[in-house]
Amino acid sequence: MYGNTEKIAVKQTTAAHLLKNDRAGESVLVEDESQKNRKIRVQVISGQILVGILIIGLWEWLTRLSVLDSYYWSSPGMILATGWKAATQGTLMTDLAYTSGATVIGFLCGTLIGSAIGLSFWWSSIYSKITEPYLIAFNAVPKLALAPVLVIMFGIGFNSKVILAFLMTVIVAAMAAYSGVKNVDKDLEKMLFSLGARKHHVFFKVVIPSSVPWMVSSLKINIALALAGTIVGEFISSKQGIGRMILYAGQVMDLNLVWVGVVVLSFLAIVMYLGTVGLEKWVLKNKNHE
């Protein structure tokens, strides 16, 4: 009797040690994986910075050697000097704020309204089948070709730039949300309905959470489209904006200022892209914690 009890106790102790060792092993593996990912992230960022420095250095070197014509290609040094002058003595900062504001407002409105349109297709299959061909047809329309009409309709001010950014993003967001709706688990819907759930319960508890990954996947595309729409609107007619600055600089043959505008737009696009990446991670993280 006592012998069996001792054997059972030994087995329990052994099992506890094995379980403890397994958990310790899993903890080490998770820690190793985290360190590996952190190391890769540092290497990638360092590599990106190094490549950027090499490109800028090579550009400056080639223009100094007259391999590249500095009149057409400018140089990092001249671009930096011209940009500083435009920021301190000119209207670069207000132009940047104007372009950024129109882009962000158009992007947010287009993404929210487009996502709402795409999600609304879940409520009625007849409504979605009637509307889908028109959505696809409107997506095929080159919205930038309508820019002159929109500028005439809404004026050369801020509103027309927001409308252009909105039109560039709303259909993409709607189609992304609709793709999410079509991939909702139908068996889960049927089970919830059989348990007495109402349609709005299923919509808010299942359809929207299931469609979130599809909707956020369009953010990085939409921010670039919104910026393109804003710049085209400024090219056509505008009182402010980086696009207007580039157009003016080209007209007066100030190619250094043109390059300043191009570089500023490049940095603005990168910042906005990183912003959407951060927003995507935040949304998906909160969704997974629910």
Tell me: the pLDDT tens digits for 90-104? 889 999 999 999 999
The stretch 95-117 carries a mean pLDDT of: 93
* Cα dist from 271 to 9, 54, 255, whole Å: 62, 21, 24
Say what the pLDDT of residue 5 is: 55
Say what the pLDDT of residue 283 is: 77
Helix or strand run (H / E) with residue 6: helix 2-64
Contacts by residues 250-257 (CB-CB < 8 Å, ≥ 24 positions apart):
255/71, 255/72, 255/74, 256/74, 256/78, 256/79, 256/82, 257/82, 257/86
pLDDT band at 25 (very low <50, low <70, confident <90, very high): low
Say what the pLDDT of residue 107 is: 94
pLDDT reading at 3 higher than 80? no
The stretch 51-62 carries a mean pLDDT of: 91
pLDDT tens column, 31-53: 577 788 888 888 888 888 899 89
pLDDT reading at 11 higher than 70? no
Cβ atoms of 260 and 79 within 8 Å: the answer is yes
The stretch 227-241 carries a mean pLDDT of: 89
Angle subtended by helix axes 219-236 and 255-289, to nearest 10: 150
pLDDT reading at 17 higher than 80? no
pLDDT reading at 18 higher than 80? no
Cβ atoms of 226 and 276 within 8 Å: the answer is no
Q: Which residue has the higher pLDDT, 155 or 85?
A: 85
pLDDT band at 231 (very low <50, low <70, confident <90, very high): very high
* Cα dist from 113 to 120, 144, 173, 232, whole Å: 11, 20, 8, 22
Say what the pLDDT of residue 279 is: 83
Sign, Cα dihedral of 48, 49, 53, 56? positive
Say what the pLDDT of residue 50 is: 92
Cβ atoms of 143 and 164 within 8 Å: the answer is yes
Cβ atoms of 88 and 76 within 8 Å: the answer is no
Residue reference for tokens 């930096």: 80
Distance from C-alpha of 203 to C-alpha of 206, rounded to nearest angstrom: 6
In this structure, the number of other CB atoms found within 10 A of the CB of residue 91 comes to: 16
pLDDT band at 29 (very low <50, low <70, confident <90, very high): low
Distance from C-alpha of 94 to C-alpha of 65, rounded to nearest angstrom: 36
Distance from C-alpha of 96 to C-alpha of 242, rounded to nearest angstrom: 6
Say what the pLDDT of residue 2 is: 46
Share of the chain above pLDDT 90, in %: 29
pLDDT band at 10 (very low <50, low <70, confident <90, very high): very low
The stretch 124-133 carries a mean pLDDT of: 84
Q: Which of these ranges, 26-35, 225-234, 254-263, has the smallest mean pLDDT?
A: 26-35
Average pLDDT over all residues of the chain: 83
Side chain identity at 158, as an amino acid letter?
F
Backbone φ/ψ region at 253: left (φ over 0), alpha (ψ -120 to 50), beta: left
CA triplet 146, 149, 151: central angle to 5 degrees?
105
Structure tokens at 120: 């609304």
Cβ atoms of 140 and 175 within 8 Å: the answer is no
Distance from C-alpha of 266 to C-alpha of 280, rounded to nearest angstrom: 21
pLDDT band at 230 (very low <50, low <70, confident <90, very high): very high
